Amino acid sequence: MSQLQAVNDFVVKFANVNGSGSASANKLFAQSILRMGVTATPRNIFPSNIQGLPTWYEVRISEKGYMGARGGTDLMVAMNPQTWDQDIKSIVPGGYLFYDSTRVIPPSKFRADVNVIGVPLTAICNAQYTLSRERQLFKNIIYVGALSALLDIDPDAIKGLLAEQFRGRDKLIQANYNALELGRDYALKNLACPIGLTVRRADQIGDRILFEGNAAAGLGAVYGGATVCAWYPITPSTSLAEGFTKYCEKFRKDKETGEKRYAIIQAEDELASIGMVIGAGWNGARAFTATSGPGISLMQEFLGLAYFAEIPAVLFDVQRAGPSTGMPTRTQQCDVLSAAYASHGDTKHILLFPEDPNECFVMGAQAFDLADRLQTPVFVMLDLDIGMNDRLCAPFKWDDTKRMDRGKVMTAAELDAGRDFGRYLDVDGDGIPYRTYPGTHPTKGSFFTRGTSRDRYARYTEEGAAYQDNMERLLKKFRTAATIVPPAIRRDAKDATKLGAIYFGSTAPAMDEAIDMLAATGIAIDALRIRAFPFGAEVETFIEEHDQVFVVEQNRDAQMRTLLINELEINPKKLQRVLHYDGSPITASFIAGAIEDTAASLKIVPLRKAVS
């Protein structure tokens, strides 16, 4: 039988039962590879469940440093009898199956083209431990130990991680070492080690860190000066509010008095969450909510109010597949349109698209400056793939000389000096008016906040001309926004090409790899990563400079493509859809395949004529 051979380039998938404590053991496995200087990218695939349903943990190991999902499994660690059949099926021919051989499994349950590695994990465990919880948890460490022998992972890397994890609790460290050795010993004595897949020390990691996007965004909110967080639990955004809470407790709680320089409210629903954020923003605090698509749907009315009343607000939307329960624990980029045009009336909102945890942090902080500067809601569009997975990324950096940009806020001194204050008066020509915080001055600068029915001085009016004047100014403000949001990043192919690809958010690592794959097949493609809406001039230029532009996104309806067509008046024929929306993270082979297919079919059509 063939045996897959690969060094630092394979996919290991763990099939576990939710709630069995496997997650930390699996993370330990991934981290040990990182400690050996090799790129490892873990992804959780989990059900809408707390205990009992199947869960998977996939680790892609890549010599070239690719971090997108790859698809297919080279080594399956099958720890869940429920999903045995489907897990066996997903192994590539010549791949490996690692399983608990304590119970005899009939030969018909295996595949002839897969290499089987049996380790009697339960038997080893039961001989060693008596407590059921110990048996369960150490079983996970035992398989990590066995895998380390099979894949030639340095056991010291794992031990180092365990020592750090349980620092100060020596008994626990030793107990974990013992379990690790049990697994290693069994494998070394009874199995041919290593198998065809091995990890070899390299130097790819540098100073990069492994972190989760949601927690990074929560940390960004702390650095961005957010003081009010109002949220309602919803997968996959919950760990964002929890991350904010954690870092606030760490950094913002007075050591002596215990006083908190933040306030976090778990609201009764998403309507109340955004209401509180708007109330706090109106009153001069930096405030945010964390939610997902259904929450954005519930917040629509308030978002219109915030847009028209020009109140700063930050929303973290951790996107997931559509309604109700089940698929919502799967990733998508399906809220682009509902966020961009959220609410009733003519509205448009600022969107930011982070690609990884580092950008979740950066944009998580920057969103508050933009919201204050532009006096409007700002959405940070994460998704489950970056939000809830640990991902290797550049270390966090902060410039200590940086100060919060609170935007145009008129002070009591300025009012006393006789500055003209009109809440909706465009004094600088950028469409952004001045505001005052409530309580600023005894007789000057107060105003009544309403939706739309007011003039430049916030006086009540239902005059059509005043309404239109205000609407035009809001458009001007949006044009200003396009000049200050993070610009799209362009990366041109080595060879000149008329093909372009636009992508954003969590698609980035798969796209990087797809570009290399396409280059290998002779297709050169320039790439543009959109980081914000409204689009800067560079987006229009990029589309103009290419004959065909592929818009790669993770939703069914090509929402970013629609936004580009609508906002930039692009000929729809010029923008090709590349859509992945089955709930799994997009892969390089999917993107490259789709682009290759379309490119091939396009050559049949006299392309240049059709476009010009």
* Helix ranges (DSSP H) in 130-169: 132-151, 155-165
Q: Is the dihedral of CA 163, 164, 167, 172 positive or negative?
A: negative
Q: Which of residues 255-274 bind another protein (CB under 8 A)?
A: 258-265, 267-269, 271-274
At 142 the three-state DSSP class reads helix
Peptide bond into 442 cis (omega under 30): no
Choose which of 172, 404, 489, 610 interacts with another protein (CB under 8 A): 404
At 193 the three-state DSSP class reads coil
In whole angstroms, the minimum distance from the beta carbon of 406 to another protein comes to 10
Q: Tell me the per-residue interface mask from 14 to 33 with another protein, x by CB under 8 A, - otherwise.
A: --------------------
CA distances from 467 to 375, 422, 424, 462, 547 (A): 18, 15, 11, 7, 41
CA distances from 459 to 416, 424, 443, 466 (A): 21, 10, 16, 10
Site membership for another protein, residue 37 (CB under 8 A): no
Q: Which of residues 99-158 bind another protein (CB under 8 A)?
A: none
Residue 61 or 586: the one with the smaller Cβ distance to another protein is 61
Residue 12 and residue 230: Cα distance in Å, rounded?
39
Q: Which of residues 452-471 bind another protein (CB under 8 A)?
A: 460
Q: Which of residues 265-324 bind another protein (CB under 8 A)?
A: 265, 267-269, 271-285, 287, 301-302, 305
In whole angstroms, the minimum distance from the beta carbon of 362 to another protein comes to 12
Tell me, by CB under 8 A, how many residues bind another protein: 72
Closest C-alpha among 185, 197, 265 to residue 59: 197
Site membership for another protein, residue 450 (CB under 8 A): yes
Residue 122 or 300: the one with the smaller Cβ distance to another protein is 300
Site membership for another protein, residue 159 (CB under 8 A): no
Site membership for another protein, residue 202 (CB under 8 A): no
User: Residues near 337 by Cβ (< 8 Å), separated by ≥ 6?
Assistant: 557, 559, 562, 563
In whole angstroms, the minimum distance from the beta carbon of 124 to another protein comes to 32
Site membership for another protein, residue 437 (CB under 8 A): yes
In whole angstroms, the minimum distance from the beta carbon of 272 to another protein comes to 4
Amino acid at 467: Y
Backbone angles phi, psi at 100, to 5 degrees: -85, 110
Amino acid at 75: L
In whole angstroms, the minimum distance from the beta carbon of 313 to another protein comes to 10
Residue 283 or 325: the one with the smaller Cβ distance to another protein is 283
Site membership for another protein, residue 399 (CB under 8 A): yes
Q: What is the DSSP string of 100-133?
A: E-SS---GGGS-TTSEEEEE-HHHHHHHH--SHH
| Stretch near another protein under the rule CB under 8 A, chosen from 123-131, 136-144, 193-201, 249-257 | 249-257
Residue 161 or 527: the one with the smaller Cβ distance to another protein is 161
In whole angstroms, the minimum distance from the beta carbon of 448 to another protein comes to 4
Site membership for another protein, residue 251 (CB under 8 A): yes
